[in-house]
Structure 1
Amino acid sequence: MLSKIKLKQSQIRAFTMLESLLVLGLVSLLALSLSNSVQSTFAAVEEQIFFMEFEEFYRETQQLSLAGQKKISLDFHDRSISNGYQKLAIPNSIQLQSHQSINFDKAGGNSSLASIRFQTRKEVVRYQLYLGNGKIKRIQEAKN
């Protein structure tokens, strides 16, 4: 009886080295494909957070100008935006299309009808400035 149990146990086969490598390769490909989709989702979320931060940064600069009763300039550079007190980093997935400055007067308004353009992977996001009151409007345009 004991010999029959040993025979049945010895018939259980394990994975061969080739099968193990095949399973490992498939799992690796699956993990890589999922990580790419997660990375693109993360980049899209990072872009949206940047635009919300930029809008708040713009409003804070206006309020600083009004509260301090002095002129403040919002300067746009390749990888950052600065108002002399704070700096906002531009993510790598977003490109600023032109270097410029927005000058706020003592009342927090600007004297420019400038347009600020950011290029993302999927679209161009443009902020249109309005004279006097210093308000901005966000406009999303399809990428050419």
Structure 2
Amino acid sequence: MQNKIQIKQLRIKAFTMLESLLVLGMVSLLALGLSSSVQSTFEAVEEQIFFMEFEELYRETQKRSLASQKKLNLILEENSVRNDYQRLMLPKGILLESNKSITFDKSGGNSSLASVRFRTKKEVVRYQLYLGNGKIKRIQETNN
């Protein structure tokens, strides 16, 4: 009689282990499925933070030029944007279409009407520079 009870208990333990493995497998698949959407959301947030930091670096370079009364350059390269004081790295999802150097004069104005274009997976973000006053305008264009 005791042998039959022990065998039934072993079958119940094995069944709960099988259930546990099944649930663990399902949870793992669910987690993998959700991680891709979380990753894309993270990339979008990282891109928006980069653009906000770029705009701030642009304004900061302009202010330093005005405060120090000397010319300063904002250099846009393949993997970074920098001035003499700071460097901002481009996230892996953002590409700069062409290297540029923006020169700010003693009064904080820039010296060109150039535009700066960054390409992401979903859109092209263009910054149009205005001659003299040093202001920039952000224009978002969808990717074709």
Q: Do the structures match in fold with TM over 0.5?
A: yes
More helix by share: 2
Partner of 2:26: 26
**Shift of the alpha carbon at 1:20?**
4.4
Matched-pair identity in %? 69
RMSD (Å), alpha carbons: 2.1
Gap runs ≥5 in structure 2 = none
Report matched runs for 1:41-80 at 5 Å. Answer: 41-80=41-80
Structure 1 letter corresponding to 2:128: Q
Find the aligned partners of 1:141 and 1:57 in 2 and give their Cα distance: 22
**Shift of the alpha carbon at 1:22?**
3.5
Find the aligned partners of 2:118 and 2:10 in 1 and give their Cα distance: 66
Are residues 133 and 12 of structure 1, via their aligned partners in 2, closer, same or farther at CA, if it must alter by over 3 Å?
same
Find the aligned partners of 2:136 and 2:121 in 1 and give their Cα distance: 23
Moved over 2 A (4+): 9-25
TM-score by length of 2: 0.87
Find the aligned partners of 1:11 and 1:67 in 2 and give their Cα distance: 80
Q: For each residue in 1:82-127, what CA deviation from the matched residue of structure 2 results, as whole angstroms up to 9, or x when unmatched?
A: 1111111111111111101001100000121100000111100000
Find the aligned partners of 2:68 and 2:129 in 1 and give their Cα distance: 22
Report matched runs for 1:1-144 at 5 Å. Answer: 10=9, 13-14=12-13, 15=15, 19-144=19-144
TM-score by length of 1: 0.87
**Shift of the alpha carbon at 1:50?**
0.6
Q: For each residue in 1:38-94, what CA deviation from the matched residue of structure 2 results, as whole angstroms up to 9, or x when unmatched?
A: 111111001001101110100000000000000001101111111111111111111
Structure 2 letter corresponding to 1:88: L
Find the aligned partners of 2:88 and 2:10 in 1 and give their Cα distance: 66
Structure 1 letter corresponding to 2:104: F
Structure 2 letter corresponding to 1:31: A
Gap runs ≥5 in structure 1 = none
